[in-house]
Amino acid sequence: MAVLDIVLYPDDRLRVKCTPVQAVNDDIRALVDDMVETMYDAPGVGLAAPQVGADVRITVIDCSEPEAPSQLRVFINPEIVHREGSLIWEEGCLSIPGVFSNVKRSRRVTVRALDRNGDSFDLEAEELLAVCLQHEIDHLDGVLFLDHLSRLKARMAHKAYKRSLPIHLTRMEERAKKRAAGADLTPDSDADAPEAQ
Ligand code: NI
C-alpha cells in the first residue's frame, strides 16, 4: 500500500468523466487499498479515483468520527438510484484544500455499486454519508463542489483557494521530506477540516 499524491484543482484530471471498471481484479483492489491509505493520511472522509489521477469509477468513504471504529466503504461503479429531500451541508475537498462552502444536496440517497469483491450492493444513506456519496460520485463525472456554488460564492472560494494553496504546498513538501527520511507520520490533522472529501 502507498500514500498517493492528491491531484489539486484546477488540474484537468479532475474534469474527466471517468471510465467504468470492467473487472474487479487485483489491480483494482491494489488501487482501492492505496486510495484508502491516501484518504486516511490526508485525512479526509472520502476520496475518488480521479483525485489520485486514476480515470476509473471508484470511491472510498469513511465518515466515522476520528476516534470511533472505522466505517470504511468501497464503491466501484457507483450510481445514485434514488434521491429524497434536500439539505445544506458545508463541504470541503482534498483537491481544493482550505476551501469550505455550503452546498445544497439530496438529504437521502440510495446508491448501487460493486464492492471490492465485485459483488453488487445497494446502500441507503442520509446526512453526511449521503452528502459524501454525492460529492464523490460528482468527482467521477468531473464535477467539483465549486460547480454547485453561486457565482459570488464561487468567486469567494477561488480567492480563499489562492490564499491557502501556497501554505498547503509548503506543508505537503515538508511531509514528503519527512516521509522520504523514513519518519512515521501521523495524519496531517491541522491541514484540513476532517470532513474534506
Ligand atoms: Ni472532493
* Domains of the chain by start residue, with CATH: 12-185 (3.90.45.10)
What number is the average pLDDT over the span 165-191? 83
Distance, CA 18 to ligand 1 centroid (Å)?
A: 14
Model's pTM, two decimal places?
0.94
What number is the average pLDDT over the span 30-34? 98
Q: Which of these ranges, 118-132, 135-149, 166-180, has the smallest mean pLDDT?
A: 166-180
How high is the mean pLDDT of the chain? 94
**Band (186; pLDDT cuts 50, 70, 90):** confident
Question: By percentage, how much of the chain surpasses pLDDT 70?
Answer: 96
84 annotated active-site: no
Q: What's the pLDDT score for residue 188?
A: 60
Asked if the model's pLDDT at residue 107 lies above 60, the reply is: yes
Distance, CA 197 to ligand 1 centroid (Å)?
A: 4
The answer to whether 95 and 49 are in contact (CB under 8 A) is no
**Band (195; pLDDT cuts 50, 70, 90):** confident
C-beta neighbour count of 49 within 10 angstroms: 26
Q: What's the pLDDT score for residue 185?
A: 78
> CA–CA separation, 134 vs 197, rounded Å?
11
Per annotation, catalytic residue among 65, 90, 91, 136: 136
> CA–CA separation, 3 vs 41, rounded Å?
7
**Grid cell digits, residue 139:** 468527482
**Band (182; pLDDT cuts 50, 70, 90):** confident
72-111 as b/e: b if 16+ CB within 10 A: ebbbbbbebeeeeeebebebbbbbbbbbbbebebbbbbbb
Distance, CA 190 to ligand 1 centroid (Å)?
A: 18
